[in-house]
Structures are given as structure tokens and as C-alpha cells.
Structure 1
Amino acid sequence: MRRGILSTLALVLLVVQAWAQDATVTVKTTEGEHVINRNIYGHFAEHLGRCIYDGIYVGDDSTIPNTDGVRNDIIDALVELKVPVLRWPGGCFADTYHWMDGIGDPAKRPSIVNQWWGGSVEDNSFGTHDFLNLCERIGAEPYLAGNVGSGQVKELADWVQYVNHPGGSPMSGLRIENGQKEPWNVKYWGVGNEMWGCGGNMAPEFYANLYRQYSTFMTDWTNSDGLYRIASGANGADYQWTEVLMRDIPKPLIEGVALHSYSVIDWGKKGPAKNFGEELYFKTMKAALFMEELVTKHIAIMDKYDPEGRVDLIVDEWGGWYDSKESETMGVLYQQNTMRDAMIAGATLNIFNNHADRIKMANLAQIVNVLQAVILTNEEKLILTPTYHVMKMYNVHQDAVLLPLELETSDYEFQGEKLPAVSASASKDESGAIHISLVNIDAKESQTVILNLDGTDNKKMTGEILASDKLEDYNDFDEADKISPKKFSGFKGKNGEYKVTLPPFSVVVLELK
């Protein structure tokens, strides 16, 4: 009987090995040139649904433990995540937001109707001071999105003065009067948002001229490197938009140009956040992997007008976007976060890493309770999503030197279509440790990766994996840790040559010291 069991197990192992597909990753460990900017791992918080109110901010009279109204558990989670930069207050909301409504005595602040997202009435209790103080607490750089669509040049110029001027000016005096003596020295500024759409339905030529006007009056007093001004960039594959901005805006007036792209299969019917099945999963991953073509083509246009690389590409909105019935009860654009979202995050971050020569910031949409959130809350409860865990696993790449690699991969096939099954990126940190992030998007089959790391003396390999039994698995408020990173030992080898087995729909980060 025992012999029969062993024979059966051996047969199962042979079958599993037959299913496993081969990929080859060759990491050029001595050829690193570009640094992976930590801001590629940035986030985005908009006044939308329950992201700010009843998410990040519960008020200082809440029974939920908080610091100046911001949930302590969220602060702790974001510190642990090493959030490098946080964009606020939008999004579409930014071009209806008047920053002076959110300063001074909260009891005297006017309310606003959130015309873009559900028509809710907000009391402006969370404003500039609250956001910038939050950024300080979590160690993140603030990225303020200015109102160009419904605002005025003076309004944005005054905001810059309010947060950055050391003292002696009208706006710095107002800041000091409101309790903040020292300036925050905010570096990153968005000059409008989605000007092709909710920001004003503008033509690119019109916006380019408007941008020139606004950026001219955004004077900086304290930052020796100057302000970092980001133009509202293209919607996905609108390459003409990037062409016009790069052609018409003088380089001294612009530091970054944005790009927005979501992993959406059909804007008219996005599909469910849960119980989606393999067909919708495949289509979603096809949309996510399209990011490679998008950034490559936009960068080519930027190179034509800016061969010196002075202007950076900023992907300040990206992520999965689905139709969710939970939005009816849990807030506008609330959606669950499954292993599918972990695949989107891992594959997309690999793309951003590998284009670190031009991509200097990216902002996942959004940080709490909205779209591909890293944190979900329900009253006093909080859960960390699979996306949170991927971004935490990947934070070893922040400010590390990108290591070029060559990748050959088999395909993930579904109903006659094919996608590359494996994606990868690699970096070397200040200590000399090498990190390799590997993603297998195949919903059914393992992938065997032959990993070559010639030129390194590092010998000790360890690993971490995010995986689950089912593609549609997620963490919920009754089972918060169903999906979490585990120690990974699915590799063997030595002297720079390793064989790594990636389970279906998994994310692995290896460390070689």
C-alpha cells in the first residue's frame, strides 16, 4: 500500500513538472545605470467615495483611535508600506477644489458639493494642513494637484506661496495665523488634471498655452532645485496629446508630463470586482500589460523633443477599475481587491522599474476604499489588500539601481490568445543586495524560470511569495489575512544559476546577498 502511495506521488510530481513552463531571465548584475526612483511606488488620495472621509479621516472626536482625525492604524500601515509620495486632492475633484475653503477654523469653512463623485456634501474639515501633516507623519512627499479647470492663476500661485514661503508675504502670514509657522516646502505640483476630460474638455494646444501661463506664475522661494511642475498628460494612447505638450511647452517651464491608464477591459462594461472568471481575468491582464506599449510610445515622443531627458514621465493614475455592487453600500468606486489585482500590481511595477530612465513617479489609484486600494476600512476594522502586500514586497526596489535583464518567457494562452506569462525586474541596493521580482500571470500553470545572475559574488538567496488557492481570493473583514506574503523556497542552484518555480498567479521577490 505504501509503495502504491509513493508511486502515485511520483506520478503527480511528474505531471506537475510537465505542466511547468520554462522562462529564462538573465540579469546583468554589473551593468546598472539608472536608479529606480522611489516615487514610482507613489499613491493617490482623492475626495472620492470613502477615501478621505470615513477612510483616512474620521475626525478627532471619533472613537476610532486617531491623530488629529486621521486613523492611527492607517498611519501605521502607510509607514510600513514606505509610501514615498502621495497625490491629493484629485483627480477630477482637484479642478473643482478651492484650497482656501479648507483652511482656518473648521467651523467656519464652507461646504462643497462633490459634483463628480456622488453629489455628496463635504464640509472641508480635511484640508491643506491636514493633508501635509499626514504626509509628514507617514514620511511621504506631498504632491498637490492644482485647480486649473475652474480656478485662476492667482489661486494656484497663492497656494504655492501659502505652503512654501518662509514668511513676510500675505499668504505665508495667513499660514502662520492658521498655526503653521514653518513652510512645508512642497516640491511636486500638478498643473490641472485630465484637461482633456473632467478638467475642461480642452484641446491640447489650448491647454499647452494655459499651462505655460500657470507654470510661469508658480514661483518658488525655498527649494534650491525649484518646483517640480507636472503637466496634465495623455489619456492612454492619445499620443497626439503628448506630442503637443512636448512641442509647445518650453523645457524651463515643465519638469514632468503625466499619463493616465487603467486596466479596464471595456469602459461601458468593466466587469465585476469579484467572481469574474478566467475570461475577464485574461482580458484584464491584457489591458494591464498594454502599459508596456503605452509608456514605450510616449517615451519615444518625449525623446524626439527632449533627447536630453529633462522632462520625466509621471504615471500618476493607474490600476484596476471594475463595476462593484458594493459601491452602493460601501462608497463610490469601492471594490474588493483580489489576486487579480496582485497580478496587475506586480506586472505593472515591473514595467515601471524597467523604464526607470524616464518614469520617475507613478501613483496607484487609490490608497483607501477606492478602486485598487491598498487599504479597506469598515468602521473600526481595517484590512490590507493583496495589492498592499505586493507593493510592500517591492519596496526593496526603491532608490536601488536598476539592473538590465533579458527575458524569454512562454505564453499564457486562453481561447486562442496569448500573453507573456512571466514578467521580471531587478535591482541592486546600496548594500550590494540584489532583488529580483518575478510575476507569473498564468491562471493555471506553473512557470519554471531559469535565472542567470552572472558577475555577482552574492551567494545567499532568500525569497518571499504572494499566492493563494484561487484567483478570485481576497482578504475581507472576517478573514483579514487570507492572503499574505509567505517565505518562498521554490528555487535551487548556486554560482549565479538558479531554477525557480513560480506557482500559477503568483508574485515572488528574491533576494541575493
Structure 2
Amino acid sequence: MITAAPSPLAPVIDRRIYGQFAEHLGRGIYEGLWVGTDSPIPNRNGLRTDAIDALRAIKVPVVRWPGGCFADEYHWLKGVGHQRGAMVNTHWGGVVDPNEFGTHEYFELLNQLDAEAYINGNVGSGAVAEMQDWIEYMTLDSHTEMAELRKRHGREQPWKVQFFGVGNESWGCGGNMTSLHYANLYRQYQTYVRNYGDNRITKVACGANADDYEWTDVVMARAAEHMDALSLHYYTLPTGEWDVKGAAIGFGDADWYETIRRTLMMDTLLTRHGQLMDRHDPAKRVGLYVDEWGTWYDVEQGTNPGFLYQQNTMRDAVVAALNFNVFHRHADRVRMTNIAQMVNVLQAMLLTDGERMLKTPTYHAFALYTDHHDATSVPVRGVLPAHTDLTLSHRDGAYTASAVNYGLDRQAEIEIVLPGAIGELLRSDILTAEQADAHNTFEAPDAVAITGFDAVRIAGDRMTLTLPPRSIVTVRGRVAE
């Protein structure tokens, strides 16, 4: 039996924990989101309407752009105005990026999604002045060169930039820096990420790769007072090896459980990085942003290795849900995450093939968790059945329980004693599949999809969920008056 234990100190689950990431990588931007105004694919101002409609349905709160590794070779001036300067995407396939999708197009994407901006600036190969000019171009309402340039390009009013990352993976593709060198550079660059008018930018410092705790300690010690958040990157690889990561489909039971084990390491990472941050920031002013996470497999056969295109199965949905639950448990420090990535890349929400588009099992996992956005976390006590996990939150007079059974061969029953009696069942949904590697294809786009969940019993303040193997369930009930 699990008992819910409300606490006045329980944190709010920031909706930005369900953030997205769209890098100039493979078909993530071009075709996945941007098709241009002349495309036969239905679009609004160049952005494909089917993708936008699907992403709006899962209430995307924030989109990180333009990278990733791409950010530290991106020079923003080539992506504004009528005369765009093409560039070679050296990190991802060596293809030529025409820069058709730049700053203005990004803010159009945000406008259509009703999402916030999280922009990564170029520290690896960019100058301080370049970053300063970009901030002015986007956010300054004045008669300066950059503001006037924006106006000549068709945008009279400045935009709002809520989040700005000063570099990306500076320990690797963003410059191969040491922690001390980056900390000093961060202090310099962030100085010129200024607030203009009523725009207030949350400054994000580049954080660690997985379990590099030394990086967190040094950067926090040297620069915590100058940052509002610190990032963390961690990918789930079934093998743990970058050369042979494992297959997205056709895997065995052992691969399933090893993937789950490596996913749950996120809890250890957040605990230990959080403890180091507490040492330098006991008031928890600085947020921890897991702005790259998700599964990473070997690419699908016959696709460009640099495009990181992979199929998406029930296993990926379970990985997403388990990560959500972990993020909820650390919501006092974790205030944003950004899954990698939104469309056609790694653990994507959507896959496209020309005019066709499908929603992946991961997309449906996000859909199951929308009621947790900006809800108050409710701690739970007790021992869960083997291979299960649970999160609980409260918002607008209702409790939302999301449970995962990641076992492959047996159902599990979870009984929850809530703080109050349930008077009305508002939602009861499940995502499950007969096969561990069940996935959606363009021929069968709804093979894995959300359906109604009827194996729930409510008796006063007791909610009992009977979960089949390989399943994610969300039940929401309004408290009786």
C-alpha cells in the first residue's frame, strides 16, 4: 500500500520539465518542422501544420534551439534577412544548411506553439560581441544598429527571450574546454547577455556530461553567482558504449531491462549533482536543467549516420515516463528538461516522411503527463511492487497519479491512499503494447496509442490500479467536496 503524504514544502512540478529540443540536425528542422511557404505540405508561414497541431496538443512549454553541437558553430547573422549565408553542418552529416530557418522562423515556431524561447549561444567558435549583438537584435527596442536591422528584416517589436544558454557541451563539441577554463569564459560571456526593457533572461551555464561531478563543482564554485541555471546531459544507451549503442527495435528482454536500469541512473545523477550544487547554493536559487536526455540507439539501416534517425517503441515511452517520475522527485532543483529531440532525431515525438507524419509512443507518454504541468508534487510513502514506479501531484482540486509497470511478464497492482476522498473520475488512460518493441509506422500509425483504462477502482480515498506489463497509466480524480 502506498500512502500520499502532502507537505507544505513540496515543490511545484514546473511545466518546463516537459520541454523540447530542436537542433539543426538531420531532418529535425528541415522537413520535420520547416517546409517553406511554397511547399505542397500544408503549412502556416512555412511550418508544417500537422506537426504544430500535434505538438500543441501536448502543451510544449519551451523549445531549445539551435543546438546542441550545432550552436557552437552557428553564426546567427547568416540566418536573418533576405540574403542568407549557407553553412556546412560539420557535426551532423556534413550537409549544407541553407539557413532558411533562422531567428525569425524560430520565433514564428514559438508563436505557433505558444512556447517560450531557450536559445543556445555560440561560445565555442563565436565572439563575445556576436552574442551581445544577437541579444540586442532579439530583445532591444531602441534606435541601435541591431534593433534597426531587426526592423528592416520585418520585425518591429522585440521578442521575449526567457532562457539563454552560454555555450553547449563546452567539455566536448563546444570547445573541449576544462571546467576552469569554461567557468572563466562563462563569467565573461554572460556579462553581455543583458536585459533590455522588461525582458528578463534566465542565464544557463553549460553543465556536466553525465557523472562528471568535478565539472559541476568547479563551475558552481567559480560562477554560481553569475548564473540562474546549470545544465546536465545524460543519454540512455542500452549497451553503455558509444560505438555500438544497441538497436531501436528487435531487442531482447535483457536489452529492455538494461535500458531501464541505465535510465534509472538519472536519479543518482540528479542526487549527486544536486548535492554539489547545494554546497555552493543552499537556497537552491540556481536551477538544474537536464536540457539533453533520452534514448540513443544505432541509426536505422539505410539512413545517414549523421542524421541520428531511430525508430521509437514502447520501450522509449516507458523510458520517458520513468524520467518524468525522477524529474518530479527532484522538482525542487530540476526546473526544466529538454528531450532530444522533437522531430525525426533520436527519441522524437514525431516522425515524418514527406507529407506523412506519425506520433511516436514517446509522444503519447508526454500526452499522458500533461496534467502534471505546474501541479504540486505529492510525496508518497511505502514499497511499490517490483518493476513499478509512481508519481502523484495535485492541481485544481484534483489528484493525478501516473504509474509505470516496466516488467515484461506480469501485471502489478498499486493501492494508493490519497489525502482525501475522490468524488469524480476525470481521466483514466493507458499506453501499452503486446510487444516490447511495438512501434508506429506510416502504414500503421496508431499501433501504439492511448486508450481508456478501466482497471482502476476508487473507494473513498483509496485508488487501486492494476497495471498490465509494459504499461503507463494516468488516472486523475477530483476531490469530493
Superposition TM-score tier, normalisation by shorter sequence: over 0.9
SS in 2 for 1:460: strand
In structure 2, relative to structure 1, the CA distance for the partners of 1:271 and 1:257 (3 Å cut) is: same
Give 1:444's match in structure 2, choosing from 409, 416, 422.
Answer: 409
The answer for the alignment partner of 1:463 in structure 2 is 428
Residue in structure 2 matched with residue 246 of structure 1 by the alignment: 220
Counterparts of 1:74-473 in structure 2 under 5 Å?
A: 74-105=51-82, 108-223=83-198, 226-251=200-225, 253-264=226-237, 265=239, 266-326=241-301, 328=303, 332-411=307-386, 421-429=387-395, 431-453=396-418, 455-461=419-425, 462-473=427-438
Offset at residue 250 of structure 1 (A) = 4.2
Q: Distance in 1 between matches of 2:382 and 2:33?
A: 40
Find the aligned partners of 1:152 and 1:296 in 2 and give their Cα distance: 35
* CA displacement at 1:493 relative to structure 2: 3.7
Look up the match of 2:27: 50
1:375, 1:383 within 8 Å by CA — same for their partners in 2? yes
Q: For 2:456, which of 491, 497, 502 is the aligned residue?
A: 491
* Aligned residues of 2:385 and 2:414 also touching (Cα < 8 A): no
Displacement, 1:458?
2.7
State the distance in 1 between where 2:127 and 2:332 align.
34
- Cα offset for 1:116? 0.2
Residue identity matched to 1:254: M
Q: State the Cα deviation string for residues 408-444 of structure 1 (Å, max 9, x = none).
A: 1243xxxxxxxxx111111111x21110110111111
Q: 1:157-200 CA distances to partner (integer Å, 9 max, x unpaired)?
A: 11111110112121111101100011112120000000000001
SS in structure 2 at match of 1:328: coil
Assess if the C-alpha contact under 8 Å between 1:44 and 1:88 holds in 2.
yes
Take 2:201 and 2:297, find their aligned partners in 1: how far apart are those partners? 35
1:30 Cα deviation from its structure 2 partner: 5.9
For 1:73, what is the secondary structure of its paired residue? helix
CA spacing shift, 1:221–1:206, aligned 2, 3 Å? same
- Code of the aligned partner of 1:495: G
Partners of 1:326 and 1:335 within 8 A in 2? no
CA distance in structure 2 between the aligned counterparts of 1:408 and 1:96, rounded to whole angstroms: 49
What SS class does the counterpart of residue 369 from structure 2 fall into? Answer: helix
The structure-2 alpha-carbon separation of the partners of 1:196 and 1:331, relative to structure 1 and needing over 3 Å to count, comes to closer
User: 1:395 & 1:110 partners in 2: Cα distance?
Assistant: 39
For 2:43 and 2:304, the matched residues in 1 are separated by: 24
**Following TM superposition, by how much is the alpha carbon of 1:359 offset from its aligned partner in structure 2, in angstroms?**
0.4
CA distance in 2, matches of 1:168, 1:149: 30
Asked whether the 8 Å contact 2:236–2:294 carries over to 1, the reply is yes
Cα offset for 1:405? 1.3
Does the aligned pair in 1 maintain the 2:299–2:305 contact within 8 Å?
no
CA deviations on 1:487-506 (whole Å, 9 max, x unpaired) are 11112241212321111110
Q: Is residue 64 of structure 1 aligned with residue 41 of structure 2?
A: yes
Q: Following the alignment from structure 2 to structure 1, what is the Cα–Cα distance between the partners of residues 236 and 449?
A: 23
- Contact 2:390/2:404 (8 A) holds in 1: yes
Q: Which secondary structure state, in structure 2, belongs to the residue aligned with residue 189 of structure 1? A: strand
**Structure-2 residue corresponding to 1:512:** 477
1:414 aligned partner: none
After superposition, the Cα gap between the structure-2 partners of 1:471 and 1:254, relative to the gap in structure 1 and judged at 3 Å, is: same
Contact 1:32 1:403 in 2 (8 A): no
What SS does the corresponding residue of 2:423 show, helix, strand or coil? coil
Tell me, yes or no, if the aligned pair for 1:327 and 1:335 is still in contact at 8 Å: no
Equivalences, count:
475
Q: Which moved more, 1:317-326 or 1:327-336?
A: 327-336
Q: Is the 8 A contact 1:260 1:318 kept in 2?
A: yes
One-letter amino acid matched to 1:81: I
- Are residues 327 and 83 of structure 1, via their aligned partners in 2, closer, same or farther at CA, if it must alter by over 3 Å? farther
Q: Which runs of no fewer than 5 residues in structure 2 stay unpaired? A: none
SS of the equivalent of 2:448 reads coil
Counterparts of 2:106 and 2:335, CA distance in 1: 22
Segment of structure 1 superposing worse, 147-156 or 58-67: 58-67
- Counterpart residue type for residue 40 of structure 1: I
Equivalent position of 1:503 in the other structure: 468
AA of the residue aligned to 1:247: A
1:273·1:336 contact (CA, 8 Å) conserved in 2?
A: yes
Deviations 1:454-490 (A, max 9, x none): x213333341100011111001100011111111111
Q: Which stretch has the larger CA shift, 312-321 or 329-338?
A: 329-338
Q: Deviations over 1:97-127 (max 9, x none)?
A: 000000000xx21110000000001111110
Which amino acid letter does the alignment assign opposite residue 56 of structure 2?
V
Aligned partner of 1:230: which letter? V
Equivalent pair of 1:185/1:222 in contact (CA under 8 Å): no
| Letter of the structure 2 residue corresponding to residue 489 of structure 1 | D
| Structure with max Cα Rg | 1
The amino acid across from 1:350 in the alignment is N
Distance 1:262 1:250, change over 3 A: closer
Q: Deviations over 1:344-371 (max 9, x none)?
A: 0000001101111100000000000000
TM-score, L = length of structure 1: 0.91
Q: Select between 276-285 and 357-366 the one with higher mean Cα deviation.
A: 276-285
- Distance in 1, matches of 2:370 and 2:34, equals 25
In structure 2, distance between residues paired with 1:306 and 1:234: 17
TM-score, scaled to structure 2: 0.96
After superposing the two structures, state which structure 1 stretch, 32-41 or 288-297, moved more.
Answer: 32-41
Relative to structure 1, is the Cα distance of residues 329 and 297 closer, same or farther in structure 2, using a 3 angstrom cutoff? Answer: closer
**Cα drift, residue 325 of structure 1:** 2.7
Distance across 2 between alignment mates of 1:508 and 1:463: 7
- The C-alpha deviation readout for 1:215-240, integer Å capped at 9, x for no partner, is 1111111236x310101110000011
